[in-house]
């Protein structure tokens, strides 16, 4: 189920909360519809959720390993997947959907709310841990466009969604180390509008740098 705009709060972290940021964050700058503030580091180190017209994206920290890196992507009729170490059951070699060596294929690979098995796709090739194949668009319930990837401790993804659902062109909350960001167009209700070094910030006048999210 879509959680599309307005991205006022993300389930990635309770600190990725737009209204809480408006009230408690020390804003380095804010101009009309977006701004950057200085908050605590590490809760989380990285994370964010955004909608841009018809694309919904997420990024979050996760555990290193299991697997170390992975990717699954669908774009219309093309599906590709990789995983290191290889997903359980992965064949060693497939050519034009003919399995030449290795297992019968993995199952339960997840791409947002769509789950797929190896046999759902006609594989042009598959070698050891990665491959590319074809299917009819939206076959077996797959999305028209979606991608999820993990590299060590960072996991992210993007999927197609209904354009401007909720009436916003874009909407976002995110953090990278001490930088906390928010954006919405049209501007979110209660936005600081115009702030520089936390001056003119009526809601968060008492906020301190590096305090938010601690």
- 80-123 pLDDT tens trace: 999 999 999 999 999 999 999 988 899 988 899 899 999 999 99
Mean pLDDT over 130-140 rounds to 94
What tokens appear for 117 in the block? 């098995």
* Measured distance CA(126)–CA(133) in Å, rounded: 8
Name the band, by pLDDT with cuts 50, 70 and 90, for residue 2: very low
Q: For residue 21, which of 197, 193, 181, 148 has the smallest C-alpha distance?
A: 181
What tokens appear for 187 in the block? 């501007």
Residue 72 pLDDT greater than 60, yes or no: yes
pLDDT at 5: 54
Residue 73 pLDDT greater than 50, yes or no: yes
């Amino acid at each position: 189920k879509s959680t599309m705009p307005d991205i006022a709060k993300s389930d990635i972290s309770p600190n990725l909360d737009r209204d809480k940021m408006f009230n408690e964050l020390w804003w380095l700058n804010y101009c009309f519809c977006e701004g950057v503030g200085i908050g605590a580091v590490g809760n989380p180190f990285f994370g964010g959720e955004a909608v841009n017209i018809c694309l919904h994206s997420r990024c979050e920290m996760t555990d290193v390993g299991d697997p170390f890196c992975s990717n699954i992507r669908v774009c219309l009729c093309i599906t590709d997947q990789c995983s290191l170490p290889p997903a359980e059951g992965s064949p060693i070699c497939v050519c034009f959907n003919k399995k030449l060596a290795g297992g019968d294929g993995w199952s339960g690979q997840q791409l947002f709310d769509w789950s797929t098995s190896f046999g759902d796709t006609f594989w042009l090739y598959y070698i050891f841990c990665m491959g590319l194949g074809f299917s009819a668009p939206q076959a077996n319930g797959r999305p028209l466009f979606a991608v999820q990837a993990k590299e060590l401790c960072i996991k992210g993804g993007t999927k197609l969604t209904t354009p401007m659902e909720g009436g916003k062109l874009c909407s976002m909350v995110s953090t990278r180390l001490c930088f906390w960001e928010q954006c919405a167009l049209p501007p979110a209700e209660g936005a600081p509008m115009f702030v520089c070094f936390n001056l003119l910030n009526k809601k968060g006048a008492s906020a301190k740098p590096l305090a938010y999210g601690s």
